[in-house]
Amino acid sequence: MNHQPAKRILIVEDEVLVAMHLEDLLTGMGHQVVGPATRIGQAMELARRSEIDAVVLDVNLAGRKSFPVADILRQRGIPFVFATGYGAEGFVDRYRAQPTLRKRYEPRELV
């Protein structure tokens, strides 16, 4: 049961089924989903201009790392969690300590 106020959460994920599952989980928790953004350019634009409270950010979008999106989120002070199938091994140093969900994550991990 979710007792937190609803948040506007941006999903940045290029795998359609993963994005749909994540959207279902988040809306089931009472949150409003923004996106999903499936490409770096689209994600950067939403990260710059959207009113969002948090982001679930896939590390690898169509073969490109999403660190430029993470940079924008940090500049705006928007919390985010990385989602990856690979763990933190490929992370640049400035993001090694960032919270990370390893795919396939459980709903309780997302909370």
Tell me what pLDDT residue 1 has: 46
E strand or H helix at 28: helix 16-28
The Cα–Cα gap between 28 and 36 comes to 16
Domain ranges across the chain: 8-110
Eight-state DSSP code of residue 93: G
Task: Write out pLDDT tens, residues 70-100.
Answer: 999 999 999 999 988 776 566 777 887 888 8
Tell me what pLDDT residue 8 has: 97
Tell me what pLDDT residue 91 has: 73
Tell me what pLDDT residue 62 has: 87
The Cα–Cα gap between 32 and 8 comes to 5
**Does this model's pTM top 0.75?**
yes
Tell me what pLDDT residue 36 has: 95
Chain mean pLDDT for the chain = 88
The Cα–Cα gap between 102 and 92 comes to 17
Overall fold of domain 8-110: Rossmann fold (3.40.50)
